[in-house]
Chain A
Amino acid sequence: MKLARLALAYLAARPLLTALNMTMLALGVATIAFLLLVTHQAEERLARDAKPVDLVVGAKGSPLQLILSAVFHADVPTGNIGVDEAEAILANPMVASATPVALGDSFRGFRIVGTDASFPGLYDATLAQGRLFAAPMEAVLGAEVARRHALAPGAKITGSHGLAQAGPAHDEHPYVVSGVLAPTGTVIDRLVLTSVESVWEVHGHHGPQPGKAALPAPAGQRLEITALLVRYATPLAAAMLPRAINATTAMQAASPAYESARLLDLLGAGVETLRWFAVVLMASAALSVFVALTSALQERRYDLALLRTLGARPATLAALTLAEGVTLLVGGVILGLVAGHGAAEGLGIWLGRTGSWPLTGFAWVGGELALVGGVLAVGLLTCLVPAVQAYTSDPATLLGKR
């Protein structure tokens, strides 16, 4: 009989204790793996979505809200700005390009963005089918929108107010799908793009919505957009342009890179707390494995003595004890990784249903390797004490005490 099988037999003989030890370890590993997956994907996603935009110019209010609404499309806008004000920004020599964004509606949880032909270029998006919107009430779908609702050029869609799917519908103003974008892995995959004029047309028939986020103005009134996505012409602009806009206009300028970092800092405190909680959980699990092995060793001291009488070397007994501990550790780590990735995938599926941020459990983050290595190293150190006890046990004394 091989050592590993004997170690397994010993573990199987105490199923409840074995299961509890593995579960404790798995909970710690799962929590940290889950946090690693979520934070890594969130950071990556935020960085990818924010990268094409140097500065967002919009209505005064919370800069974080402005970025969340105009870049990440995850919040209501702070308000609108006049087209004339936006044009003044465009004329500034420090601005290389400025892409308008007019928000207000969504299609089944996916935001409808009134913009111009430069928007897909910000995310290096290309057309997979059809063509870009040209006439009013034409729309181009992001890859995820088209995939989720099995839409192709020629299909008709209608928007509804706000980001929630339950908002009042604009059934009388359907969009015709003119094209579908290829997947990019950025926020554009989850957007419906149309012209700013289409958004104005849809809302030209509505009065202001009390209590709702501001919408572009009805036709005939002062024309408004929600924000401008600016790219700098020169690095110097980063220092001068935001200050100039914030100080001299009725608008505010916010940096996506800065606000993303601030958002991650805000989330970071909570994540850090959870991470420490998981570390404590794992330390408890390591201690529990130690207690389990030590008590098992005590229970089994006659078995160990017997194995010595059969010719087993001290190192063989130490290896047997280690094999038992390692089986617990590896089992706990595998269970934990499966649970952590499963939880991330489950959250991803739930978030996907709500049409918001995409997350997957089918990913491997570099930090997980360090996690596995760390847990196994600490666990092995924990197992070493009982293994040394097994190594140094004196069979004659043990048998004599029986």
Chain B
Amino acid sequence: MLEIRGLRHAYGGRTVLDVPEWAVGRGEASLVLGSSGSGKSTLLNVIAGLATPVSGSVRVDGEDVPSLAPARRDAFRARKVGLVLQTLHLIGVVSVRENLRLAQRLAGHAVDERRIDEVLAGLGIDRLSRARADEISVGEAQRVAIARAVVNRPALILADEPTSALDDANCARALALLFEQAAGCGATLLVATHDNRIRSHFARRLDL
């Protein structure tokens, strides 16, 4: 599903990412572990097509993401990738439901209210549907961020430090939700973190 070869990325001449070879199969879950500044977020950005590496290939479902034209890269990301960002950033001025609708529209899909209901219910946040996104708690925002990442049934879920700000109980809960949702849509799950608490949950791991 995901194949990386000779991937190198640099900022101002300084190499920040170097992955000679790595692959993850369809439906697998894998951890990208590394300290701050090790290039975890950069790797996820390159895989998602948000950053272009200096060299190397990143193939997702056979498509070499860095070599795609910008417009096709945007379309690829919308269609195939679900992102959970470290800051759980939501569009605060609209409701939780509108955040999910926005994700569907930007992916080029028609708004599917039943799918939104299903995802919100699956994450236990259906009661928040009409709440403004900037008025919910951090724990709730985390669930909404996961809901948004899976609402389009992506082939690949990329989560950047999803648990680093959470206590043990919430960390376990968030991880369980990610696994559950990824399994629910048959997606490959990649979690980038420096949080050693979760390394035991993953069979596969890339150390940076």
Residues of A near any B CB (own CB < 8 A): 1-2, 6, 9-10, 12-13, 302-303, 305-314, 316, 395-396, 399-400, 402
Partner of A400, one of B41, B75, B105: B41
14 residue pairs from A and B, CB less than 8 Å apart: A1-B94, A6-B93, A6-B102, A13-B92, A13-B93, A302-B87, A306-B89, A307-B91, A307-B106, A310-B102, A311-B74, A311-B79, A311-B107, A313-B74
Partner of A309, one of B77, B93, B108: B77
Whether B165 is near chain A, meaning CB under 8 Å from some CB there, is no
Contact A313 B71 (CB under 8 A): yes
Contact A310 B45 (CB under 8 A): no
Cα A314 to Cα B73 with chains together (Å) = 12
Whether B48 is near chain A, meaning CB under 8 Å from some CB there, is yes
Cα A305 to Cα B90 with chains together (Å) = 11
Say how far B139's CB is from chain A's closest CB, in angstroms: 19
Cα A307 to Cα B85 with chains together (Å) = 12
Cα A305 to Cα B74 with chains together (Å) = 12
User: Which residues of chain B are within 8 angstroms of A305 by Cβ–Cβ distance?
Assistant: 89
User: Which residues of chain B are within 8 angstroms of A396 by Cβ–Cβ distance?
Assistant: 42, 45, 50-51
Whether B78 is near chain A, meaning CB under 8 Å from some CB there, is yes
Q: A310-B103, A310-B107, A402-B86 are in contact. Are A395 and B94 (CB under 8 A)?
A: no
Cα A36 to Cα B44 with chains together (Å) = 59
Cα A173 to Cα B73 with chains together (Å) = 93
Whether B98 is near chain A, meaning CB under 8 Å from some CB there, is yes
Chain B 89-131, CB-CB to A under 8 Å as 1, else 0, gives: 1111110001001110111100000000000000000000000
Cα A311 to Cα B91 with chains together (Å) = 14
Say how far A306's CB is from chain B's closest CB, in angstroms: 5
Number of interface residues of B (CB under 8 A): 32
User: Which residues of chain A are within 8 angstroms of B94 by Cβ–Cβ distance?
Assistant: 1, 6, 9
Contact B106 A2 (CB under 8 A): no
Say how far A70's CB is from chain B's closest CB, in angstroms: 65
Whether B182 is near chain A, meaning CB under 8 Å from some CB there, is no
- At the interface, is chain B mostly helix, strand, loop or mixed? helix
Cα A10 to Cα B92 with chains together (Å) = 9
Q: A1-B105, A310-B103, A312-B106 are in contact. Are A303 and B98 (CB under 8 A)?
A: no
Contact B50 A306 (CB under 8 A): no
Residues of B near any A CB (own CB < 8 A): 41-42, 45, 48, 50-51, 70-71, 74-75, 77-79, 83, 85-87, 89-94, 98, 101-103, 105-108, 148
Contact B105 A402 (CB under 8 A): no
User: Which residues of chain A are within 8 angstroms of B74 by Cβ–Cβ distance?
Assistant: 308, 311-313
Partner of B85, one of A10, A313, A399: A399
Cα A402 to Cα B85 with chains together (Å) = 10
Cα A10 to Cα B74 with chains together (Å) = 24
Contact B45 A399 (CB under 8 A): yes
Cα A262 to Cα B16 with chains together (Å) = 78
Q: Which 9 A-B pairs have the closest CB atoms?
A: A311-B78, A396-B51, A13-B93, A396-B45, A311-B106, A396-B50, A9-B93, A310-B106, A1-B102
Q: A6-B93, A302-B89 are in contact. List 13 more A-B contacts (CB 8 A).
A: A1-B94, A6-B91, A303-B91, A309-B85, A310-B148, A311-B74, A311-B75, A311-B106, A312-B106, A396-B50, A399-B41, A402-B86, A402-B87
Cα A399 to Cα B74 with chains together (Å) = 16
User: Which residues of chain B are within 8 angstroms of A314 by Cβ–Cβ distance?
Assistant: 70
Contact A309 B48 (CB under 8 A): yes
Cα A302 to Cα B145 with chains together (Å) = 14
User: Which residues of chain B are within 8 angstroms of A1 by Cβ–Cβ distance?
Assistant: 94, 98, 101-102, 105
Q: Which of A2, A9, A396 has the most CB of B within 10 A?
A: A396
Cα A10 to Cα B93 with chains together (Å) = 6
User: Which residues of chain B are within 8 angstroms of A402 by Cβ–Cβ distance?
Assistant: 85-87, 89
Contact B93 A311 (CB under 8 A): no
Say how far B138's CB is from chain A's closest CB, in angstroms: 15
Cα A303 to Cα B91 with chains together (Å) = 6
Contact A309 B105 (CB under 8 A): no
Cα A399 to Cα B44 with chains together (Å) = 11
Cβ-closest chain A residue relative to B111? A1
User: Which residues of chain B are within 8 angstroms of A303 by Cβ–Cβ distance?
Assistant: 89, 91-92
User: Which residues of chain B are within 8 angstroms of A310 by Cβ–Cβ distance?
Assistant: 77-78, 83, 102-103, 106-107, 148
User: Which residues of chain B are within 8 angstroms of A12 by Cβ–Cβ distance?
Assistant: 93
Cα A235 to Cα B172 with chains together (Å) = 101
User: Which residues of chain A are within 8 angstroms of B42 by Cβ–Cβ distance?
Assistant: 396, 400
Cα A176 to Cα B53 with chains together (Å) = 98
Say how far B91's CB is from chain A's closest CB, in angstroms: 6
Cα A308 to Cα B77 with chains together (Å) = 9
